């Protein structure tokens, strides 16, 4: 039987590859050692308390993190913020809070104008907020990827978010929400003739929970989004991309308007 000959050159090349690999690894290790290792993230805690008049406004601008806003029987705003970032981020990007009797203004990422770093993610500090507010207060919230959960609040509310989740629970008063892709969940505590819910979203789903006694006009404009309602509706207009119906049997005393590209609307 014919036997295959062993290629001495191939055997030699395999043996010599081991010390060569070790040499390359040593060189790579020395090269990596010459670069500074990433700085570990640090945490900064900020707690502030402010007096505010009944019916005042909370204004908040946050890039990323978690925002929880809870209505209470107190007459003050308690801000508890936890910031996460590198030492240079925490030094150059400040948490700015100002107030007067009518409003509390929170800017989570006030960039030092003297810092000529790269614009982008490094210019933002992840900030988690736990905020206690009087029950009668207006909300004016602007977010990017931060999520917000607000509960137990009566007032006029404006929320803008790019991709963060928005949850409004036990909230009363006119509500306006704009979002690109974040899911929206709204639970209204009551329903009155001043009830106005206006939502604009590109692809975010809208989950609306309203009282059984709610009545008014429901309008849904969407290119490809689907509409579902657990309440009986009287059709007023039903076109391909626009639906208008009457909720309840009485005269219109409120309105729901949702505009989306592909986001769905569910009324429960």
Confidence of residue 69 (pLDDT cuts 50, 70, 90): very high
pLDDT at 7: 40
Q: Comparing C-alpha atoms, which of 199, 194, 195, 203 is closest to residue 219?
A: 199
Q: Give the integer Cα–Cα distance in Å for 209 and 207.
A: 7
Residue 86 lies in a domain: yes
Q: Is residue 35 part of a domain?
A: no
Inside any domain, residue 65: yes
Asked, for residue 8, whether it belongs to a domain, the answer is no
pLDDT over threshold 80, residue 37? no
Work out the pLDDT band at 68, boundaries 50, 70, 90: very high
Share of the chain above pLDDT 90, in %: 62
The single-letter DSSP state of residue 122 is: G
**How confident is residue 19, by pLDDT bands cut at 50, 70 and 90?**
very low
> How, if at all, do strands 206-209 and 242-247 pair?
unpaired
Confirm whether 246 is domain-assigned.
yes
Contacts of 254 (CB under 8 A, 6+ apart): 191, 192, 193, 194, 195, 196, 197, 214, 215, 216, 217
Q: Residue 88's pLDDT band (boundaries 50, 70, 90)?
A: confident
- Tell me the range of 87-101, 129-143, 193-207 where mean pLDDT is highest: 129-143
Q: Is there a domain that residue 23 lies in? A: no
Dihedrals phi, psi of 175, to nearest 5 degrees: -130, 130
Segment 115-130 mean pLDDT: 71
Domain count along the chain: 1
What pLDDT does residue 25 have? 43
* Residue 118 confidence (pLDDT) above 70: no
Higher model confidence: residue 91 or residue 77?
Answer: 77
Per the domain annotation, does 29 fall within a domain? no
Q: Residue 250: how many CB atoms within 10 A of its CB?
A: 10
Cα 97 to Cα 17: distance, rounded to the nearest angstrom: 62
- Is 32 within the bounds of a domain? no
pLDDT of residue 235: 81
Among 119-133, 188-202, 218-232, name the one with the lowest average pLDDT. 119-133
Show the domain range for 181: 43-267
Q: Report which of residues 194 and 230 the model is more confident about.
A: 230
Q: What Cα–Cα distance (Å) separates residue 51 from each residue in 9, 91, 134, 138, 229? A: 84, 28, 10, 15, 42
pLDDT digits (tens, 9 = 90+) for 133-186: 999 999 999 999 999 999 999 999 999 999 999 999 999 999 999 999 999 999
């Amino acid at each position: 039987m014919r036997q295959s000959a062993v290629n001495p050159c191939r055997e030699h090349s395999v043996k010599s590859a081991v010390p060569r690999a070790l040499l390359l690894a040593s060189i790579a290790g020395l090269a990596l050692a010459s670069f500074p290792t990433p700085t570990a993230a640090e945490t900064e805690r900020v707690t502030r308390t402010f007096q505010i008049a009944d019916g005042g406004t909370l204004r908040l601008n946050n890039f990323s993190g978690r925002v929880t806003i809870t209505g209470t029987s107190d007459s003050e705003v308690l801000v508890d913020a936890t910031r996460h970032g590198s030492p240079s981020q925490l030094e150059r990007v400040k948490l700015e809070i100002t107030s007067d009797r009518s409003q509390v203004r929170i800017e989570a990422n006030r960039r030092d104008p003297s810092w000529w770093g790269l614009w982008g993610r490094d210019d933002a500090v992840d900030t988690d907020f736990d905020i206690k507010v009087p029950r009668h207060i207006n909300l004016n919230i602007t977010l990017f990827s931060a999520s917000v959960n607000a509960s137990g609040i009566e007032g006029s509310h404006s929320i803008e978010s790019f991709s963060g989740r928005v949850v409004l629970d036990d909230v009363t008063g006119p509500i306006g929400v704009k979002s690109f892709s974040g899911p929206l969940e709204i639970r209204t505590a009551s329903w009155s003739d001043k009830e106005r819910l206006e939502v604009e979203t590109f692809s975010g789903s809208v989950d609306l929970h309203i009282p059984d006694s709610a009545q008014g006009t429901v309008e849904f404009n969407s290119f490809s989004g689907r509409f579902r309602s657990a309440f009986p509706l009287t059709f007023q207009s039903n076109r391909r991309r626009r639906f208008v119906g009457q909720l309840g049997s009485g005269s219109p005393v409120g309105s729901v308007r949702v505009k989306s590209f592909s986001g769905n609307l569910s009324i429960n």
